[in-house]
């Protein structure tokens, strides 16, 4: 029996993470994988979602109330090596991985930032057990690609990059890399009832994250900028603006921005909100019925692109730049850098997208079949690794 473990998953309160898990597990199932397991940092929440193609949802770390956690804490205070402490904390992942044919690290953004100690420890234990490892659908900022990070990345038998900037940077370091689009492009949308005030195909989606506001320098100034932008939309179009969240983690919650913007337009019937309880497939179903989307979250833009809905991305990462470049051949007109965002730039880019939205939709409809094709054989290469180990 082929058993594949999806690990390094932060939890489905990030709808992008949910989209990756749902789409990846569906791809694996369609390819004939019989047993798919998921280790999650939010195991109770994710287990309640009924992830159709995931056979079992396991915790990533030991319970804070378990005897093992107590022993680990005491051992650390008595001088236990740091690596052993981390390995004990992530014992559920390591145990599940050792009993798998293949392990896919599905945290696409993991190496966008700093080296990850826990991944180095987990991967080291799994490598010693002879389990093949794949870094799946990843993006890595070339400017952060230190020798320490490259050393960590060498633990993977295969890296599948979701855009060309990452693929080129990793290949330069001699790593085994294939490029294929983000798995969430194949996530199947679900149709749900639309909120009151929705204007047919004349609804514009707006998603702004606290992370983007922080990169702009000030959350308060950022909120004021987007309030002014919404007024611009209302004054220059007859469209409805649908505010929506895509991440609801306590430490990074889009709802704080949605609520602030909605409060500023509490008497405006053309400013509405999507229910905060919607999952990745339901949000994608709503996005598919929008005329265009302005979004900070990359996976909200992926939901738009993959349903041929024009999107303007407020970008802050290599993944947003790379995906726009690979889809369109350029970033200009499709992505605005959050650190240098101004109201005039945002309004100008939005107005231009409004003017060409029909052409943009037609372009995406024509481009998508080729873009979605697995030209480098990434999935075939991933599954070929299952012959090398596990049970």
CATH classification at residue 345: 3.40.50.2000
Its domain, for residue 331, covers 203-372
Distance of CA 173 to the CA centre of its chain: 25
Position 83 scores a pLDDT of 86
The verdict on 43 and 176 lying in the same domain is: yes
Average pLDDT on 355-380 reads 97
Residue that wins the pLDDT comparison between 335 and 217: 335
Label residue 56 by pLDDT band (50, 70, 90): very high
The verdict on 356 and 383 lying in the same domain is: no
Token pair 């230190």 is at which residue?
146
Label residue 104 by pLDDT band (50, 70, 90): very high
The verdict on 247 and 344 lying in the same domain is: yes
The verdict on 121 and 239 lying in the same domain is: no
User: Is residue 188 one of the residues assigned to a domain?
Assistant: no
Q: Which two tokens stand for residue 60?
A: 């990533």
Q: Given a cut of 60, is residue 197 above it in pLDDT?
A: yes
Q: What is the CATH number of the domain that holds 57?
A: 3.40.50.11930
The verdict on 238 and 162 lying in the same domain is: no
Position 391 scores a pLDDT of 38
Give the whole-angstrom CA distance, residue 249 versus residue 268. Answer: 28
The verdict on 143 and 41 lying in the same domain is: yes
Average pLDDT on 220-249 reads 97
Lowest-confidence segment of 87-91, 115-119, 165-169 by average pLDDT: 115-119
Position 84 scores a pLDDT of 83
The verdict on 323 and 228 lying in the same domain is: yes
The verdict on 255 and 340 lying in the same domain is: yes
Label residue 68 by pLDDT band (50, 70, 90): low
Number of domains in the chain: 2
Q: Which two tokens stand for residue 63?
A: 């319970």
Lowest-confidence segment of 17-31, 58-72, 154-168, 179-193 by average pLDDT: 58-72
Label residue 70 by pLDDT band (50, 70, 90): low
User: Is residue 107 one of the residues assigned to a domain?
Assistant: yes
The verdict on 349 and 229 lying in the same domain is: yes
Q: Which two tokens stand for residue 75?
A: 């051992």
The verdict on 167 and 245 lying in the same domain is: no
84-116 b/e (C-beta count within 10 Å ≥ 16 → b): eebbbbbbbbbebbbebbbbbbbbbbbbbeebb
User: Is residue 197 one of the residues assigned to a domain?
Assistant: no
User: Is residue 336 one of the residues assigned to a domain?
Assistant: yes
Q: Given a cut of 50, is residue 389 above it in pLDDT?
A: no
- Give me the helices (H) in 245-313, please: 255-264, 280-287, 298-305
Position 63 scores a pLDDT of 72
Label residue 388 by pLDDT band (50, 70, 90): low
Lowest-confidence segment of 70-84, 112-126, 196-210, 271-285 by average pLDDT: 70-84
Task: Give tens-digit pLDDT for 210-234.
Answer: 989 998 888 999 999 999 999 999 9
Average pLDDT score over the chain: 93
Token pair 């999650």 is at which residue?
40
The per-residue DSSP string of 118-140 comes to: HHHHHHHHHHHTT--EEEEEE--
Label residue 390 by pLDDT band (50, 70, 90): very low
Compute and round to an integer the Cα radius of gyration of the chain: 21
The verdict on 214 and 125 lying in the same domain is: no
Average pLDDT on 136-160 reads 94
The verdict on 339 and 207 lying in the same domain is: yes
Position 82 scores a pLDDT of 80
Question: Of all residues in the chain, what percent carry a pLDDT higher than 90?
Answer: 87
Burial class (CB in 10 A: 0-12, 13-18, 19+), 129: middle
Q: Given a cut of 70, is residue 331 above it in pLDDT?
A: yes
367: nearest Cα among 337, 341, 335, 329: 329
Q: Given a cut of 90, is residue 168 above it in pLDDT?
A: yes
């Amino acid at each position: 029996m082929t058993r594949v473990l999806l690990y390094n998953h932060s939890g489905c309160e990030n709808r992008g993470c949910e989209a990756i898990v749902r789409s990846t597990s569906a791809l694996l199932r369609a390819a004939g994988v019989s047993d798919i397991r998921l280790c999650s940092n939010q195991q109770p929440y994710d287990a309640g979602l009924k992830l159709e193609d995931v056979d079992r949802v396991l915790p990533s770390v030991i319970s804070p109330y378990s005897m093992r956690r107590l022993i680990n804490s005491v051992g650390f205070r008595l001088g236990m090596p740091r690596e052993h402490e981390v390995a004990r904390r992530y014992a559920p992942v390591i145990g599940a991985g050792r009993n798998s044919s293949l392990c896919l690290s599905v945290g696409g953004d993991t190496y966008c930032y700093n080296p990850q100690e826990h991944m180095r420890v987990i991967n080291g234990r799994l490598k010693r057990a002879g389990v093949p490892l794949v870094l799946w659908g990843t993006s890595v900022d070339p400017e952060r690609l230190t020798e320490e990070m490259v050393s960590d990345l060498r633990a993977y038998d295969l890296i599948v990059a979701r855009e060309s900037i990452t693929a080129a940077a990793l290949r330069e370091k001699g790593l085994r890399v294939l490029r294929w689009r983000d798995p969430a492009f194949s996530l199947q949308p679900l149709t749900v009832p639309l909120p009151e005030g929705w204007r047919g195909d004349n609804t514009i989606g707006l998603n702004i994250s606290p992370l983007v506001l922080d990169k702009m320098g000030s959350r308060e100034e950022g909120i004021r900028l987007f309030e002014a932008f919404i007024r611009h939309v209302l004054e220059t179009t007859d469209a409805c603006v649908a505010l929506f969240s895509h991440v609801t983690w306590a430490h990074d919650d889009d709802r704080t921005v949605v609520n602030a913007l909605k409060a500023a337009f509490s008497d405006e019937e053309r400013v509405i909100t999507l229910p905060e309880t919607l999952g990745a497939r339901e949000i994608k179903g709503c996005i598919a019925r929008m005329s265009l989307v302005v979004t900070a979250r990359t996976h909200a833009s992926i939901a738009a692109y993959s349903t041929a809905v024009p999107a303007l991305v407020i970008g802050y990462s290599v993944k947003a730049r790379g995906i726009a470049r690979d889809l369109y051949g350029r970033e200009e007109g499709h992505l605005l850098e959050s650190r240098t965002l101004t109201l005039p730039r945002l309004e100008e880019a939005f107005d231009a997208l409004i003017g060409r939205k029909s052409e943009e939709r037609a372009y995406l409809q024509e481009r998508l079949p080729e873009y979605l094709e697995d030209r480098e054989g990434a999935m075939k290469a991933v599954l070929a690794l299952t012959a090398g180990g596990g049970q």
